Amino acid sequence: MMWPRLIVAAFCLTWLPVASAQVPLPKPLTRVTAADLEGGAKAYTTYCARCHGLDGSGGMGPPLARPRLRRAADDTAIIDILVNGIPGTAMMAAWSLSEREITQVTSYVRSLGRRPAEALPGDPARGHAVYARAACATCHIVGGDGSGLGPDLTDVGTRRGSAFLRESLLDPGAARPERAVPYEPYAYPAYVIVRAQPRGGAEVTGVRVNEDTFTIQIRDQQGRLHSFRKADLQRLQPVPEMSLMPSYRDTLNRAEINDLVAYLMMRRAAR
Ligand code: HEC
Ligand code: HEC
């Protein structure tokens, strides 16, 4: 049985140089042809639209159809992001793209930035009032106010697109924020709900805060942190469709949802 080890070796050989890449970045295109933009659009649709939206208006990832990007002032900065990813976030290095595709998709992202800004139907000031009335601050922090069972929303308008925010309000179990896991090459859903049944103890349902091979930490709905050795659990089960956030589909009307989305899209990082 020699061949499984060979496969492992082959994996190491292909992954190691990627992990320690110190190669010069591909140069941005100086003359962008229609064919380049077409190639860029194709790569974008396949590899980027899932998180940044087909039209660049954002999704789980930030909108790219903006004239200025927070982390990418110029083409070289975009290329750097595509080659190296943004460590600690769901933005992974685009390993499947060739150098040419990387430069083409960069020019395409720039072209998205020249599109007119997205027009949102709601009113941010009214949205602020809805936010207060619906007591969102019992689970969210904006600018230091509130408490934090859910994600901090201070700069959510720089991190997500309006369609994703709308889905978060209407169907929180379907809009899953992702985060990077340091020891895995892919992003994973954050705020996964798990059910843990300790031997001879009460079942705990809550958000998985951390997990390794032997232990798991769970924050329950009351905000209490539970830490378990997996060996002490009778059952440990993810509940992928569940969210601790209630859906506002039936408690807020269409106009209120529009206003909330407009308010949330204005929560931008200072820069
Ligand atoms: C799994 C989801 C995901 C995919 C797929 C993805 N991105 Fe991202 N991207 C993100 C997230 C999340 C961020 C924000 C990271 C942060 O700053 O916290 C981001 C940030 C960026 C930024 C910086 C934006 C800014 O406002 O400064 C650029 C540029 C970018 N991505 C381009 C791309 C391109 C081009 C592709 C396709 C090759 C791509 N991304 C694929 C999730 C993704
Ligand atoms: C009981 C706690 C709770 C309440 C109340 C709550 N949320 Fe949430 N919210 C969460 C959790 C937990 C998440 C993380 C994603 C998930 O589990 O669905 C979340 C996710 C979100 C997201 C997505 C954030 C991101 O970074 O992707 C938005 C936007 C949001 N909530 C807005 C609101 C608004 C607006 C209200 C009030 C109308 C509200 N939430 C009320 C717990 C709550």
List 208's β-bridge partners, or say none.
Answer: 218
Q: pLDDT-derived band of residue 82, with 50, 70 and 90 as boundaries? A: very high
Q: Could you tell me the pTM of the whole model?
A: 0.86
Number of the ligand closest to the Cα of 190? 2
The CATH class for the domain spanning 20-113 reads mainly alpha
C-alpha 52 to ligand 1 mean position (Å):
7
**DSSP run (H or E) holding 257:** helix 254-265
Least Cα distance to 176 among 163, 158, 190 occurs for 190
pLDDT at res. 184: 55
pLDDT at res. 14: 43
pLDDT at res. 98: 96
Give the tens place of pLDDT for each residue, 93-140.
999 999 999 999 999 999 999 998 889 999 999 999 999 999 999 999
C-alpha 222 to ligand 2 mean position (Å):
15
**Domain extents for the chain?**
20-113, 124-174+245-265, 192-238
Q: pLDDT-derived band of residue 183, with 50, 70 and 90 as boundaries? A: low
CATH hierarchy code of domain 124-174+245-265: 1.10.760.10
Pairing of strands 204-211, 215-220: antiparallel
20-113 and 124-174+245-265 agree in CATH topology: yes
| Fold adopted by 192-238 | SH3 type barrels. (2.30.30)
Atom of ligand 2 nearest to the CA of 193: 17
Asked if residue 17 has pLDDT above 50, the reply is no
The residue nearest atom 19 of ligand 2, judged by CA position, is 150
C-alpha 145 to ligand 2 mean position (Å):
15
C-alpha 261 to ligand 2 mean position (Å):
12
Atom of ligand 2 nearest to the CA of 172: 18
Which tokens sit at 69? 């990007």
User: In angstroms, what is the C-alpha Rg of the chain?
Assistant: 21
| Beta carbons within 10 angstroms of residue 95's beta carbon | 13
Which tokens sit at 257? 């949802």
